[in-house]
Chains A and B, each alone.
Chain A
Amino acid sequence: MLANTLIHKIRPGAITIAEDVSGFPTLCRKIRDGGIGFDYRLGMFLPDMWIKLLKETPDVQWSMDLIAQSMINRRWKEKVVAYSESHD
């Protein structure tokens, strides 16, 4: 919260992104609303999903439902950075 406050005070348009695997509630809610104040959450499951699909599943068997559900599975109003490549 201190970090997010300081960053946005120095540079109002700055972007902060949180890497969290626990799904911590309020992570990206405003500090004045009781949140921690990050702008975005990293969509941690998405690179795992893509690499698993690419490695293990032929294209014709890709489940559109799995892909769609994975991409929309997020906390209400929380902005998520979707990425496809990760060193993890």
Chain B
Amino acid sequence: MAIQEHSYYGSFGYHVTGFFGVSSRSGSPDDFKFLVDQAHGMGIRIIIDLVHSHASSNVLDGINRFDGTDHCYSHAGPRGYHSAWDSMTFDYSKYEVKRFLLSNLAWFLDVYHVDGFRFDAITSILYNHHGIGMCFTGNY
């Protein structure tokens, strides 16, 4: 389950609105740091779910239309919208998108001391069709 800040509880945390925060429903940033430290003290490593495949389509509290345009961190027009997930897809060719997401990784490693990441929906990152309506099983 994803822990980055999200408005829509029904998304299980996958419609991320604040990429650098942990969900305020579960506590404060210091609470999460305490959890990680306690786990480390017991020899437990912490791997967090990380959503870099898409972003919440929210405008007011999310990063959608952050600069007023429809292609700040996402692709413009329909290509920037994941119809099956009602969320925005990143344009990974943009320099600032790479900076944003890579600094997000460094942040969780440096500040929260997590030991790894479970990357959400890599399929959507790998393919231009995002896997929407695709079937990958069958006879090869």
Contact = CB atoms under 8 A, between A and B. Distances in A.
- A, B assembled together: yes
Interface of A: 2-3, 6-7, 10-11, 13-24, 27, 38-39, 42, 87
A60 B131 CA distance: 37
B117 interface: yes
A17 B119 contact: yes
Nearest to B52: A3
B interface, by DSSP: helix, strand, loop or mixed?
Answer: mixed
B130 to A, nearest CB: 11
Interface residues of B, number: 26
Interface string B105-129: 1100110000111111111001100
Nearest to A14: B116
A3 B126 CA distance: 14
B116 A24 contact: no
**Residue from the set A15, A22, A38 with the largest chain B CB neighbour count within 10 Å:** A22
Contacts of B127: 22
